[in-house]
Chain A
């Protein structure tokens, strides 16, 4: 059974700092990994999708990497802004419609 862990559960950083969020998974046989952002009381917004054959994906100030062999993915946020404050979740697709496993998220606070 796939297990997905996100540590730390919460993170507070000053504005302008570069930061890394971590996502670990136990089974390296995955199809893809997706990073989401969730604002309080809202749905999930897709940030980046990394296919199993890819090593990284970039979108603006965000860069996500994938290392299947070690069961790890990182989300790098450059020059953080207060608007980046949200909970960030990763989801691992192990194949099949019912085999997407979500982490419990890292709650990020960027202090002005």
Chain B
């Protein structure tokens, strides 16, 4: 069966520090990968998606970036965090296809920027 792992679960970082959140998927090949952010009282916001190694599409202009160095690994990064980057970050995958298809989420990473 397929599983998705996301870490760290909780992170407290000072403003201006770098960020790296990692996500890996097991039990499937060539998945579509996604990074979402969830703010309190608001719907999930898609940040990045990837349909293959090295292929990243950005949905929201910001100081975050994403990379996909391996087929089943997706990384969310920042060089300098802002207070507004605080939030709950969710990695997700869906089977390869022309559309999103069924989404499966990781456990999330809670980021607090102080």
Contact = CB atoms under 8 A, between A and B. Distances in A.
A44 B56 CA distance: 23
Interface string B11-29: 0000000000000000000
Contacts of B101: 32, 93
Interface in A51-108: 89, 91, 93, 95-104
Secondary structure at the A interface, as helix, strand, loop or mixed, is: strand
Interface residues of A, number: 25
A100 B90 contact: no
Contact of B59 (A41, A43, A98): A98
Nearest to A3: B43
Interface in B86-114: 90, 92, 99-108, 110
A97 to B, nearest CB: 5
B51 A102 contact: no
A21 interface: no
A34 interface: yes
A13 B90 CA distance: 29
Given A97-B32, A102-B43, A41 B108 contact: yes
B41 interface: yes
Nearest to B91: A43
Given A34-B103, A49-B102, A42 B108 contact: yes
Interface of A: 4, 31-32, 34, 36, 41-46, 49, 89, 91, 93, 95-104
- In the A-B complex, the 7 residue pairs with the closest CB atoms: A102-B43, A43-B105, A44-B105, A102-B44, A43-B107, A43-B108, A49-B102
